[in-house]
Amino acid sequence: MRSRAGSRGVRVVPVVLVGLAALVVGCKPGGSEKAPLTPPPLSDVLWNPCTDLSDDVLRVLRVNPADKHVGIDSGNPTNAAAKSCSWNSTEGPYGVGVGAERFSLADVRKNKVLLNFRDVRVGSRPGLMYQDNIATNDGSADPLTCYVSVPYKQGSIDLFIYWSRGEESKASQLPPCDIALSRATDLVSYLPQ
């Protein structure tokens, strides 16, 4: 989930994790169904960016650690398919989110609400950059968002940037994919393998 709330009057909007939930349920756009994808067994503790990122790491991401918005956190460390938190940037009118899911990058590529996939390097790790179409009415990519995901043993970890609506004129780039890749590169050495 990404948050568009806090000091900039933002609202909470489901994004990638809602789309990943559609993978679990197996619904196609238009209401038809296909065989559901199932996440790996939920016996391992899922890495939680909401609690496992230190204030020092959050400052490396150029966010205010006290400005945390919990997107998804059931409170159960093992029986969870996803965990997600976001923070307002200290550099501009955008948010920085980090999420962990029990879905591989291959699963992410199958998600019908995600598009514009591009393979990238995030430090020494392979990564996947993409956008969502949840906030658009025509199925096109949301120009205010960009995601970078890296694989890890339980699935994938995402870093996402979402530019505040109404603040587009302050953006040096839309979609904010250069910022997303830069922040993901800052973060990657602190992530579990």
> How many Å apart are CA 123 and CA 120, to the nearest integer?
9
Of the candidates 128, 136, 177, 131, the residue with the CA atom closest to the CA atom of residue 155: 128
Residue 19: its pLDDT value, please? 44
Residue 35: its pLDDT value, please? 45
Residue 179: its pLDDT value, please? 96
> How many Å apart are CA 23 and CA 39, to the nearest integer?
9
- Give exposure, 135-163, as e/b (b: 16+ Cβ within 10 Å): beeeeebbebbbbbbbbbebbbbbbbbbb
3-state DSSP assignment of residue 17: helix
Higher pLDDT, 1 or 146: 146
| Domain range annotation of the chain | 2-190
Q: What percent of the chain has pLDDT over 90?
A: 65
Maximum pairwise Cα distance, the chain: 46
pLDDT tens-place string over residues 13-54: 334 444 444 333 333 334 434 444 555 555 677 899 999 999
Residue 138: its pLDDT value, please? 87
Residue 32: its pLDDT value, please? 39
Residue 25: its pLDDT value, please? 35
pLDDT tens-place string over residues 94-148: 999 999 999 999 999 999 999 999 999 999 999 999 999 988 888 899 999 999 9
Residue 72: its pLDDT value, please? 86
Residue 41: its pLDDT value, please? 54
Residue 22: its pLDDT value, please? 38
> How many Å apart are CA 90 and CA 126, to the nearest integer?
28
Name the DSSP class of 154: T
Strand 12-13 versus strand 63-72 pairing type: unpaired
Question: Which residues, other chains included, contact 98 with Cβ-Cβ below 8 Å and sequence gap of 6+?
Answer: 49, 53, 61, 84, 85, 86, 157, 158, 159, 160, 187
pTM beyond 0.85: the answer is no
Residue 162: its pLDDT value, please? 95
Residue 73: its pLDDT value, please? 80
pLDDT tens-place string over residues 17-26: 444 443 333 3
